[in-house]
Structure 1
Amino acid sequence: MSKKTRHEEHEEHADESWLLPYSDLMTLLVALFLVMYAMSATDAKKFEEMAQAFSSALNGGSGVLEYRSDAPTNTQLDQGKEDKMNSVVAPNTGKADIAKLRQKEQEELEKLKKQFDQYIKNNGLTDLLSTKLNQSQLTITISDNALFSSGQAVVKDESRQLAKSISTMLQQFPNYEVLVEGHTDNIPISNSEYPSNWDLSVARALQFMKILLLNPYLDPVKFSPIGYGEYHPVADNATAAGRAKNRRVEVSILRKYQDVTETTPVTPSN
Protein backbone atom coordinates (compact mmCIF):
# COMPACT_ATOMS: atom_id res chain seq x y z
CA MET A 1 0.00 0.00 0.00
CA SER A 2 1.36 3.28 -0.88
CA LYS A 3 1.63 5.98 1.73
CA LYS A 4 0.39 9.37 0.92
CA THR A 5 2.57 12.16 2.11
CA ARG A 6 0.60 14.49 4.35
CA HIS A 7 1.62 18.06 4.23
CA GLU A 8 0.96 20.17 7.32
CA GLU A 9 -0.86 23.35 6.64
CA HIS A 10 1.17 26.43 7.46
CA GLU A 11 -0.55 29.63 8.57
CA GLU A 12 0.26 32.58 6.41
CA HIS A 13 1.99 35.45 8.34
CA ALA A 14 2.10 39.05 7.18
CA ASP A 15 5.48 40.59 6.68
CA GLU A 16 6.21 42.61 9.94
CA SER A 17 9.70 43.74 9.09
CA TRP A 18 8.45 47.37 8.82
CA LEU A 19 7.80 47.53 12.59
CA LEU A 20 11.46 47.91 13.49
CA PRO A 21 12.19 51.10 11.52
CA TYR A 22 8.78 52.46 12.49
CA SER A 23 9.49 52.02 16.21
CA ASP A 24 12.91 53.60 15.76
CA LEU A 25 11.34 56.58 14.01
CA MET A 26 8.75 57.06 16.75
CA THR A 27 11.45 56.88 19.42
CA LEU A 28 13.49 59.55 17.62
CA LEU A 29 10.43 61.80 17.29
CA VAL A 30 9.61 61.49 21.00
CA ALA A 31 13.21 62.29 21.90
CA LEU A 32 13.18 65.27 19.53
CA PHE A 33 10.06 66.82 21.05
CA LEU A 34 11.32 66.20 24.59
CA VAL A 35 14.52 68.04 23.72
CA MET A 36 12.57 70.90 22.14
CA TYR A 37 10.28 71.17 25.19
CA ALA A 38 13.22 71.26 27.60
CA MET A 39 14.96 73.93 25.57
CA SER A 40 11.81 76.05 25.26
CA ALA A 41 11.40 75.99 29.05
CA THR A 42 14.91 77.30 29.64
CA ASP A 43 15.64 79.61 26.73
CA ALA A 44 12.95 80.59 24.24
CA LYS A 45 15.47 82.21 21.95
CA LYS A 46 17.59 79.05 21.60
CA PHE A 47 14.48 76.98 20.98
CA GLU A 48 13.32 79.29 18.21
CA GLU A 49 16.74 79.12 16.54
CA MET A 50 16.77 75.33 16.73
CA ALA A 51 13.20 75.06 15.41
CA GLN A 52 14.05 77.25 12.44
CA ALA A 53 17.13 75.14 11.68
CA PHE A 54 15.12 71.91 11.77
CA SER A 55 12.41 73.43 9.58
CA SER A 56 14.93 74.57 7.02
CA ALA A 57 16.69 71.21 6.97
CA LEU A 58 13.59 69.01 6.81
CA ASN A 59 11.01 70.86 4.79
CA GLY A 60 12.32 74.19 3.63
CA GLY A 61 11.20 76.22 6.64
CA SER A 62 7.48 75.44 6.85
CA GLY A 63 5.48 73.01 8.91
CA VAL A 64 5.09 71.99 12.56
CA LEU A 65 8.63 72.93 13.48
CA GLU A 66 8.21 76.49 12.28
CA TYR A 67 7.82 78.19 15.65
CA ARG A 68 7.97 81.68 17.04
CA SER A 69 7.74 82.22 20.77
CA ASP A 70 5.55 85.01 22.17
CA ALA A 71 7.52 84.93 25.40
CA PRO A 72 10.26 87.59 25.70
CA THR A 73 13.80 86.37 25.24
CA ASN A 74 16.59 87.07 27.71
CA THR A 75 17.83 89.88 25.45
CA GLN A 76 14.37 91.44 25.38
CA LEU A 77 14.10 91.23 29.17
CA ASP A 78 17.48 92.91 29.60
CA GLN A 79 16.45 95.62 27.14
CA GLY A 80 13.23 96.17 29.10
CA LYS A 81 15.15 96.62 32.35
CA GLU A 82 17.49 99.08 30.65
CA ASP A 83 14.56 101.06 29.22
CA LYS A 84 12.95 101.20 32.65
CA MET A 85 16.14 102.50 34.22
CA ASN A 86 16.50 105.08 31.47
CA SER A 87 12.94 106.25 32.07
CA VAL A 88 13.83 106.93 35.70
CA VAL A 89 17.18 108.54 35.01
CA ALA A 90 16.01 110.54 32.00
CA PRO A 91 12.27 111.27 32.32
CA ASN A 92 10.34 112.77 29.43
CA THR A 93 10.10 116.05 31.28
CA GLY A 94 12.30 118.61 29.59
CA LYS A 95 15.30 120.13 31.31
CA ALA A 96 13.66 123.55 31.35
CA ASP A 97 10.56 122.14 33.05
CA ILE A 98 12.64 120.28 35.61
CA ALA A 99 14.59 123.45 36.36
CA LYS A 100 11.31 125.30 36.99
CA LEU A 101 10.04 122.55 39.27
CA ARG A 102 13.34 122.53 41.15
CA GLN A 103 13.21 126.29 41.58
CA LYS A 104 9.62 126.13 42.86
CA GLU A 105 10.60 123.40 45.30
CA GLN A 106 13.54 125.47 46.55
CA GLU A 107 11.21 128.41 47.17
CA GLU A 108 8.70 126.23 49.02
CA LEU A 109 11.34 124.69 51.28
CA GLU A 110 12.91 128.06 52.01
CA LYS A 111 9.47 129.40 52.94
CA LEU A 112 8.84 126.43 55.22
CA LYS A 113 12.26 126.86 56.84
CA LYS A 114 11.54 130.53 57.58
CA GLN A 115 8.28 129.55 59.25
CA PHE A 116 10.04 127.01 61.45
CA ASP A 117 12.81 129.48 62.30
CA GLN A 118 10.26 132.13 63.24
CA TYR A 119 8.39 129.67 65.44
CA ILE A 120 11.62 128.65 67.17
CA LYS A 121 12.55 132.29 67.79
CA ASN A 122 9.09 133.32 69.01
CA ASN A 123 8.92 130.47 71.51
CA GLY A 124 12.48 130.74 72.81
CA LEU A 125 13.42 127.26 71.57
CA THR A 126 16.75 128.06 69.95
CA ASP A 127 18.56 125.76 72.38
CA LEU A 128 16.23 122.84 71.65
CA LEU A 129 15.35 123.12 67.94
CA SER A 130 17.24 123.95 64.74
CA THR A 131 16.70 123.71 60.99
CA LYS A 132 18.94 122.97 58.04
CA LEU A 133 18.27 123.02 54.30
CA ASN A 134 20.64 121.21 51.94
CA GLN A 135 20.64 119.50 48.54
CA SER A 136 18.51 116.58 49.68
CA GLN A 137 16.13 117.77 52.39
CA LEU A 138 14.92 120.26 54.96
CA THR A 139 15.61 118.91 58.43
CA ILE A 140 14.09 120.04 61.74
CA THR A 141 16.23 118.76 64.61
CA ILE A 142 14.57 118.50 68.04
CA SER A 143 16.53 117.77 71.20
CA ASP A 144 15.24 114.81 73.18
CA ASN A 145 14.85 117.07 76.24
CA ALA A 146 12.15 118.96 74.39
CA LEU A 147 10.09 115.83 73.88
CA PHE A 148 10.88 112.97 76.25
CA SER A 149 11.86 112.11 79.79
CA SER A 150 15.16 110.25 80.13
CA GLY A 151 14.98 106.71 78.76
CA GLN A 152 11.34 107.11 77.69
CA ALA A 153 9.53 107.35 74.36
CA VAL A 154 6.26 108.91 75.53
CA VAL A 155 6.02 112.51 74.33
CA LYS A 156 5.59 114.86 77.28
CA ASP A 157 2.23 116.61 77.55
CA GLU A 158 3.78 120.05 77.32
CA SER A 159 5.56 119.01 74.10
CA ARG A 160 2.49 117.88 72.20
CA GLN A 161 1.82 121.49 71.19
CA LEU A 162 5.22 121.55 69.50
CA ALA A 163 4.28 118.51 67.43
CA LYS A 164 0.94 120.09 66.58
CA SER A 165 2.63 123.31 65.41
CA ILE A 166 5.06 121.35 63.22
CA SER A 167 2.20 119.36 61.68
CA THR A 168 0.29 122.57 60.91
CA MET A 169 3.25 123.97 59.00
CA LEU A 170 3.79 120.68 57.17
CA GLN A 171 0.20 120.58 55.93
CA GLN A 172 0.89 123.57 53.67
CA PHE A 173 3.09 121.32 51.50
CA PRO A 174 1.38 117.91 51.50
CA ASN A 175 3.20 116.38 48.53
CA TYR A 176 6.58 115.86 50.20
CA GLU A 177 7.86 112.61 51.69
CA VAL A 178 8.67 113.00 55.39
CA LEU A 179 11.05 110.90 57.49
CA VAL A 180 10.80 110.99 61.28
CA GLU A 181 14.14 109.76 62.66
CA GLY A 182 15.09 108.81 66.20
CA HIS A 183 18.70 109.06 67.48
CA THR A 184 20.40 108.32 70.81
CA ASP A 185 23.84 108.63 72.36
CA ASN A 186 26.08 105.60 72.91
CA ILE A 187 25.31 105.04 76.59
CA PRO A 188 23.54 101.67 76.82
CA ILE A 189 19.96 102.00 78.02
CA SER A 190 19.15 100.14 81.23
CA ASN A 191 15.44 99.51 81.65
CA SER A 192 13.08 96.62 80.98
CA GLU A 193 10.98 98.45 78.38
CA TYR A 194 13.71 99.10 75.81
CA PRO A 195 16.46 96.48 75.53
CA SER A 196 18.70 98.69 73.37
CA ASN A 197 19.21 102.23 72.12
CA TRP A 198 17.96 101.04 68.77
CA ASP A 199 14.61 100.06 70.27
CA LEU A 200 14.38 103.38 72.07
CA SER A 201 15.15 105.42 68.94
CA VAL A 202 12.55 103.57 66.89
CA ALA A 203 9.91 103.98 69.59
CA ARG A 204 10.59 107.73 69.88
CA ALA A 205 10.37 108.27 66.14
CA LEU A 206 7.13 106.32 65.95
CA GLN A 207 5.49 108.07 68.89
CA PHE A 208 6.35 111.54 67.60
CA MET A 209 5.14 110.64 64.11
CA LYS A 210 1.81 109.43 65.51
CA ILE A 211 1.23 112.83 67.12
CA LEU A 212 2.05 114.60 63.85
CA LEU A 213 -0.48 112.41 62.06
CA LEU A 214 -3.28 113.39 64.42
CA ASN A 215 -3.57 116.26 61.96
CA PRO A 216 -6.20 114.96 59.48
CA TYR A 217 -4.72 117.09 56.67
CA LEU A 218 -1.51 115.05 56.62
CA ASP A 219 -1.31 111.90 54.52
CA PRO A 220 0.15 108.92 56.45
CA VAL A 221 1.38 107.46 53.16
CA LYS A 222 3.97 110.25 52.99
CA PHE A 223 5.41 109.54 56.47
CA SER A 224 7.93 106.95 57.60
CA PRO A 225 9.49 106.42 61.06
CA ILE A 226 13.04 105.15 61.39
CA GLY A 227 15.41 104.58 64.31
CA TYR A 228 19.19 104.88 64.04
CA GLY A 229 20.09 104.28 67.66
CA GLU A 230 23.59 105.54 68.44
CA TYR A 231 24.94 104.94 64.93
CA HIS A 232 24.43 108.36 63.32
CA PRO A 233 26.01 110.77 65.80
CA VAL A 234 26.43 114.46 65.01
CA ALA A 235 28.84 115.11 67.91
CA ASP A 236 31.46 113.33 70.00
CA ASN A 237 29.92 110.96 72.53
CA ALA A 238 32.99 111.41 74.75
CA THR A 239 31.48 114.54 76.32
CA ALA A 240 28.14 115.23 77.97
CA ALA A 241 27.48 118.11 75.56
CA GLY A 242 28.18 115.87 72.58
CA ARG A 243 25.90 113.12 73.88
CA ALA A 244 23.12 115.68 74.42
CA LYS A 245 23.37 116.73 70.75
CA ASN A 246 23.18 113.12 69.63
CA ARG A 247 19.96 112.45 71.55
CA ARG A 248 17.46 113.92 69.10
CA VAL A 249 14.49 113.47 66.78
CA GLU A 250 14.79 114.74 63.22
CA VAL A 251 11.87 115.50 60.90
CA SER A 252 13.20 115.50 57.33
CA ILE A 253 11.19 116.84 54.39
CA LEU A 254 12.72 115.20 51.31
CA ARG A 255 13.27 116.98 48.02
CA LYS A 256 11.57 115.54 44.95
CA TYR A 257 13.86 117.18 42.39
CA GLN A 258 17.41 116.58 43.51
CA ASP A 259 20.22 117.48 41.14
CA VAL A 260 23.58 116.05 42.07
CA THR A 261 25.25 117.82 39.14
CA GLU A 262 24.44 121.24 40.50
CA THR A 263 25.31 122.80 43.81
CA THR A 264 22.18 123.85 45.68
CA PRO A 265 22.77 126.70 48.12
CA VAL A 266 22.81 125.47 51.70
CA THR A 267 20.84 127.64 54.08
CA PRO A 268 22.56 127.74 57.49
CA SER A 269 20.59 126.57 60.50
CA ASN A 270 19.55 128.88 63.31
Structure 2
Amino acid sequence: MPRKKKKKRHEDHVDESWLIPYADILTLLLALFIVLFSMSSIDASKFKQLSKAFDDVFSGGTGVFQYQSPVEQDPTTGKEKSGALMKEHEEKGGLGEKDQKELSELQQKVNQYITDNHLNRQLGTSLSGEGLLVTIRDNVLFESGSADVRPGDKRIATEIAKLMVMDPPRSIMISGYTDNVPISTSKYSSNWDLSVMRAVNFMKVLLENQSLDPEWFSAKGFGEFKPIASNDTAEGRAKNRRVEILISPRTELNQ
Protein backbone atom coordinates (compact mmCIF):
# COMPACT_ATOMS: atom_id res chain seq x y z
CA MET A 1 0.00 0.00 0.00
CA PRO A 2 1.50 3.27 -1.05
CA ARG A 3 2.53 5.56 1.78
CA LYS A 4 0.62 8.77 1.98
CA LYS A 5 2.66 11.82 1.49
CA LYS A 6 2.71 14.13 4.43
CA LYS A 7 1.34 17.50 3.71
CA LYS A 8 3.82 20.25 4.27
CA ARG A 9 2.74 22.71 6.95
CA HIS A 10 2.93 26.21 5.73
CA GLU A 11 3.03 28.85 8.43
CA ASP A 12 1.12 31.95 7.42
CA HIS A 13 3.04 35.21 7.61
CA VAL A 14 1.80 37.23 10.62
CA ASP A 15 0.49 40.65 9.66
CA GLU A 16 2.35 43.10 11.91
CA SER A 17 0.94 46.27 10.43
CA TRP A 18 -1.20 46.75 13.57
CA LEU A 19 1.98 47.49 15.53
CA ILE A 20 2.33 50.91 13.94
CA PRO A 21 -0.99 52.43 15.14
CA TYR A 22 -0.56 50.59 18.45
CA ALA A 23 2.82 52.21 18.98
CA ASP A 24 1.36 55.60 18.07
CA ILE A 25 -1.40 55.17 20.64
CA LEU A 26 1.11 54.24 23.32
CA THR A 27 3.21 57.29 22.46
CA LEU A 28 0.20 59.59 22.67
CA LEU A 29 -0.90 58.08 25.97
CA LEU A 30 2.58 58.50 27.36
CA ALA A 31 2.60 62.11 26.19
CA LEU A 32 -0.77 62.67 27.86
CA PHE A 33 0.38 61.29 31.20
CA ILE A 34 3.62 63.29 31.08
CA VAL A 35 1.71 66.49 30.37
CA LEU A 36 -0.83 65.81 33.13
CA PHE A 37 1.94 65.06 35.59
CA SER A 38 3.83 68.19 34.60
CA MET A 39 0.68 70.29 34.99
CA SER A 40 0.28 69.06 38.54
CA SER A 41 3.88 69.90 39.37
CA ILE A 42 4.29 73.45 38.06
CA ASP A 43 2.34 76.67 38.23
CA ALA A 44 -0.18 78.05 35.80
CA SER A 45 2.35 80.26 34.06
CA LYS A 46 3.77 77.16 32.35
CA PHE A 47 0.38 75.93 31.13
CA LYS A 48 0.65 77.65 27.76
CA GLN A 49 4.02 76.07 27.05
CA LEU A 50 2.73 72.65 28.07
CA SER A 51 -0.32 73.07 25.85
CA LYS A 52 1.93 73.82 22.88
CA ALA A 53 3.98 70.72 23.56
CA PHE A 54 0.83 68.64 23.75
CA ASP A 55 -0.50 70.11 20.49
CA ASP A 56 2.80 69.40 18.75
CA VAL A 57 2.63 65.73 19.73
CA PHE A 58 -0.91 65.29 18.40
CA SER A 59 -0.27 67.26 15.23
CA GLY A 60 2.71 65.10 14.31
CA GLY A 61 5.26 67.74 15.23
CA THR A 62 8.12 67.46 17.65
CA GLY A 63 7.99 64.45 19.94
CA VAL A 64 7.28 65.02 23.59
CA PHE A 65 10.76 63.84 24.59
CA GLN A 66 12.36 66.35 22.24
CA TYR A 67 10.30 69.31 23.43
CA GLN A 68 11.98 71.99 25.51
CA SER A 69 11.68 71.46 29.23
CA PRO A 70 8.86 73.50 30.83
CA VAL A 71 11.11 74.18 33.82
CA GLU A 72 12.38 77.75 33.67
CA GLN A 73 16.10 78.15 33.04
CA ASP A 74 18.46 80.67 34.53
CA PRO A 75 19.58 82.91 31.62
CA THR A 76 22.99 83.47 33.21
CA THR A 77 23.91 79.82 33.65
CA GLY A 78 21.61 78.02 31.24
CA LYS A 79 20.69 75.66 34.07
CA GLU A 80 17.24 74.97 35.41
CA LYS A 81 16.20 77.22 38.26
CA SER A 82 15.54 75.57 41.56
CA GLY A 83 12.06 75.73 43.08
CA ALA A 84 13.16 78.44 45.52
CA LEU A 85 14.56 80.64 42.77
CA MET A 86 11.47 80.17 40.62
CA LYS A 87 9.24 81.10 43.54
CA GLU A 88 11.31 84.20 44.24
CA HIS A 89 11.13 85.19 40.58
CA GLU A 90 7.35 84.73 40.47
CA GLU A 91 6.75 86.63 43.71
CA LYS A 92 8.52 89.66 42.29
CA GLY A 93 6.19 89.50 39.32
CA GLY A 94 6.12 92.74 37.37
CA LEU A 95 7.97 94.74 40.03
CA GLY A 96 11.23 96.08 38.70
CA GLU A 97 13.82 97.63 40.97
CA LYS A 98 12.54 101.15 40.39
CA ASP A 99 8.93 100.06 40.77
CA GLN A 100 9.76 98.23 43.99
CA LYS A 101 11.42 101.34 45.40
CA GLU A 102 8.52 103.64 44.50
CA LEU A 103 5.88 101.36 45.99
CA SER A 104 8.00 100.79 49.08
CA GLU A 105 8.19 104.54 49.61
CA LEU A 106 4.43 104.82 49.21
CA GLN A 107 3.96 101.96 51.67
CA GLN A 108 6.09 103.82 54.20
CA LYS A 109 3.91 106.92 53.82
CA VAL A 110 0.73 104.88 54.35
CA ASN A 111 2.26 103.09 57.34
CA GLN A 112 3.30 106.44 58.83
CA TYR A 113 -0.27 107.69 58.47
CA ILE A 114 -1.56 104.52 60.15
CA THR A 115 0.88 104.93 63.04
CA ASP A 116 0.22 108.65 63.51
CA ASN A 117 -3.53 108.04 63.68
CA HIS A 118 -3.34 104.89 65.81
CA LEU A 119 -5.06 102.80 63.13
CA ASN A 120 -2.81 99.73 63.29
CA ARG A 121 -5.73 97.44 64.15
CA GLN A 122 -7.94 98.87 61.40
CA LEU A 123 -5.56 99.38 58.47
CA GLY A 124 -2.65 97.39 57.10
CA THR A 125 -0.36 97.21 54.07
CA SER A 126 1.53 94.52 52.20
CA LEU A 127 3.78 94.59 49.13
CA SER A 128 3.95 91.77 46.59
CA GLY A 129 4.41 91.17 42.88
CA GLU A 130 0.82 92.31 42.35
CA GLY A 131 1.55 95.71 43.84
CA LEU A 132 0.89 97.56 47.09
CA LEU A 133 -2.20 96.36 48.96
CA VAL A 134 -3.88 98.57 51.57
CA THR A 135 -6.50 96.76 53.67
CA ILE A 136 -9.18 98.68 55.59
CA ARG A 137 -11.55 97.02 58.07
CA ASP A 138 -15.16 97.71 57.19
CA ASN A 139 -15.98 99.11 60.65
CA VAL A 140 -13.59 101.99 59.93
CA LEU A 141 -15.86 103.25 57.15
CA PHE A 142 -19.33 101.70 57.31
CA GLU A 143 -22.18 100.93 59.64
CA SER A 144 -23.20 97.27 59.76
CA GLY A 145 -25.16 96.35 56.64
CA SER A 146 -24.53 99.77 55.05
CA ALA A 147 -22.46 100.71 52.01
CA ASP A 148 -22.40 104.45 52.69
CA VAL A 149 -19.14 105.82 54.07
CA ARG A 150 -19.90 107.43 57.43
CA PRO A 151 -19.53 111.24 57.25
CA GLY A 152 -17.24 111.19 60.26
CA ASP A 153 -14.92 108.67 58.58
CA LYS A 154 -14.58 110.45 55.25
CA ARG A 155 -11.48 112.10 56.67
CA ILE A 156 -9.67 108.75 56.54
CA ALA A 157 -10.67 108.25 52.91
CA THR A 158 -9.62 111.82 52.12
CA GLU A 159 -6.19 111.33 53.67
CA ILE A 160 -5.72 108.03 51.83
CA ALA A 161 -6.73 109.77 48.58
CA LYS A 162 -3.89 112.26 49.04
CA LEU A 163 -1.45 109.36 49.23
CA MET A 164 -2.85 107.93 45.99
CA VAL A 165 -1.65 110.94 43.98
CA MET A 166 1.38 109.58 42.12
CA ASP A 167 3.55 110.62 39.22
CA PRO A 168 3.37 108.73 37.00
CA PRO A 169 -0.12 107.45 37.85
CA ARG A 170 -0.90 103.77 38.41
CA SER A 171 -3.95 101.57 38.05
CA ILE A 172 -5.86 101.30 41.34
CA MET A 173 -8.39 98.58 42.11
CA ILE A 174 -10.89 99.00 44.95
CA SER A 175 -12.38 95.71 46.18
CA GLY A 176 -15.12 95.06 48.71
CA TYR A 177 -15.46 91.91 50.85
CA THR A 178 -17.88 90.62 53.49
CA ASP A 179 -18.15 87.72 55.89
CA ASN A 180 -20.47 84.78 55.21
CA VAL A 181 -23.39 85.92 57.38
CA PRO A 182 -26.35 86.19 54.97
CA ILE A 183 -27.82 89.62 54.37
CA SER A 184 -31.13 90.50 52.78
CA THR A 185 -32.45 94.02 53.09
CA SER A 186 -34.62 96.27 50.99
CA LYS A 187 -31.44 97.83 49.61
CA TYR A 188 -29.06 94.87 49.33
CA SER A 189 -30.25 91.39 48.49
CA SER A 190 -26.91 89.68 49.11
CA ASN A 191 -23.40 90.12 50.47
CA TRP A 192 -22.25 90.43 46.89
CA ASP A 193 -24.41 93.51 46.32
CA LEU A 194 -23.19 95.02 49.58
CA SER A 195 -19.51 94.41 48.79
CA VAL A 196 -19.80 95.94 45.33
CA MET A 197 -21.50 99.10 46.57
CA ARG A 198 -19.00 99.52 49.41
CA ALA A 199 -16.16 99.40 46.90
CA VAL A 200 -17.91 101.86 44.56
CA ASN A 201 -18.88 104.30 47.31
CA PHE A 202 -15.42 104.28 48.85
CA MET A 203 -13.93 104.88 45.39
CA LYS A 204 -16.25 107.85 44.90
CA VAL A 205 -14.98 109.42 48.12
CA LEU A 206 -11.37 108.96 46.95
CA LEU A 207 -12.21 110.57 43.63
CA GLU A 208 -13.42 113.72 45.34
CA ASN A 209 -9.71 114.53 45.23
CA GLN A 210 -9.42 116.44 41.95
CA SER A 211 -5.82 115.27 41.48
CA LEU A 212 -7.02 111.69 40.94
CA ASP A 213 -8.21 110.67 37.49
CA PRO A 214 -11.20 108.25 37.45
CA GLU A 215 -9.57 106.58 34.46
CA TRP A 216 -7.03 105.00 36.79
CA PHE A 217 -9.67 103.41 39.01
CA SER A 218 -11.89 100.34 38.96
CA ALA A 219 -14.08 98.63 41.57
CA LYS A 220 -15.02 95.02 42.32
CA GLY A 221 -17.10 93.19 44.87
CA PHE A 222 -16.28 89.65 46.01
CA GLY A 223 -18.90 89.21 48.72
CA GLU A 224 -18.03 86.39 51.08
CA PHE A 225 -16.02 84.41 48.53
CA LYS A 226 -12.46 85.63 49.22
CA PRO A 227 -12.02 85.27 53.00
CA ILE A 228 -8.63 85.91 54.61
CA ALA A 229 -9.65 84.34 57.92
CA SER A 230 -12.08 81.75 59.24
CA ASN A 231 -15.73 82.78 59.37
CA ASP A 232 -16.23 80.47 62.35
CA THR A 233 -15.21 83.18 64.84
CA ALA A 234 -16.25 86.79 65.37
CA GLU A 235 -12.64 87.90 65.02
CA GLY A 236 -12.25 86.06 61.73
CA ARG A 237 -15.48 87.50 60.33
CA ALA A 238 -14.32 90.99 61.30
CA LYS A 239 -11.12 90.48 59.29
CA ASN A 240 -13.09 89.28 56.28
CA ARG A 241 -15.28 92.41 56.25
CA ARG A 242 -12.92 94.79 54.53
CA VAL A 243 -12.13 97.10 51.65
CA GLU A 244 -8.85 96.68 49.78
CA ILE A 245 -6.92 99.13 47.64
CA LEU A 246 -4.53 97.47 45.19
CA ILE A 247 -2.02 99.84 43.60
CA SER A 248 -0.61 98.01 40.59
CA PRO A 249 2.95 98.02 39.23
CA ARG A 250 3.60 100.48 36.46
CA THR A 251 2.77 99.32 32.95
CA GLU A 252 4.53 100.15 29.70
CA LEU A 253 1.97 102.91 29.15
CA ASN A 254 2.91 104.88 32.27
CA GLN A 255 6.61 104.16 32.66
Alignment TM-score, normalising by the size of structure 1: 0.57
Match of 2:234 in 1: 240
Amino acid in structure 2 at the alignment position of 1:103: E
Deviations 1:138-164 (A, max 9, x none): 010000000000000000111101111
- In the superposition, relative to structure 1, how do residues 174 and 203 fare at CA in structure 2: closer, same or farther (>3 Å)? farther
1:146 to 140, 145, 152: 140
SS at 2:147 equivalent: coil
Displacement after TM superposition at 1:174 (Å): 4.7
Match of 1:204 in 2: 198
2:104 to 106, 110, 114: 110
5+ unaligned residues in a row in structure 1: which ranges? Answer: 1-100, 259-270
- In the superposition, relative to structure 1, how do residues 228 and 245 fare at CA in structure 2: closer, same or farther (>3 Å)? same
Match of 1:170 in 2: 164
Displacement after TM superposition at 1:256 (Å): 2.8
Match of 2:185 in 1: 191
Match of 2:47 in 1: none
Amino acid in structure 2 at the alignment position of 1:196: S
SS at 1:171 equivalent: coil
Match of 1:130 in 2: 124
SS at 1:229 equivalent: coil
Residue 226 of structure 2 is aligned to residue 255 of structure 1 = no
Alignment partners' CA distance in 1, 2:250 and 2:186: 41
Runs of 4 or more consecutive aligned structure 1 residues displaced over 4 Å after TM superposition: none
Alignment partners' CA distance in 2, 1:124 and 1:206: 26
**Bigger radius of gyration, 1 or 2?**
1
Alignment TM-score, normalising by the size of structure 2: 0.60
Alignment partners' CA distance in 2, 1:174 and 1:225: 21
SS at 1:209 equivalent: helix
Match of 1:266 in 2: none
SS at 2:162 equivalent: helix
Displacement after TM superposition at 1:173 (Å): 3.8
Match of 1:59 in 2: none
Alignment partners' CA distance in 2, 1:222 and 1:257: 12
2:213 to 215, 219, 240: 219
Alignment partners' CA distance in 2, 1:213 and 1:120: 21
Amino acid in structure 2 at the alignment position of 1:187: V
Match of 1:180 in 2: 174
Amino acid in structure 2 at the alignment position of 1:250: E
Displacement after TM superposition at 1:182 (Å): 0.2
Alignment partners' CA distance in 1, 2:168 and 2:177: 25
- Matched pairs, number: 160
Displacement after TM superposition at 1:251 (Å): 0.5
RCO (CA 8 Å, sep 6+): is it higher in 1 or 2?
1
Alignment partners' CA distance in 2, 1:102 and 1:129: 26
Alignment partners' CA distance in 2, 1:239 and 1:117: 28
Does structure 2 retain, via aligned residues, the 8 Å contact 1:143–1:248?
yes
Amino acid in structure 2 at the alignment position of 1:116: V
Amino acid in structure 2 at the alignment position of 1:222: W
Taking only the aligned residue pairs, the percentage that are identical comes to 47
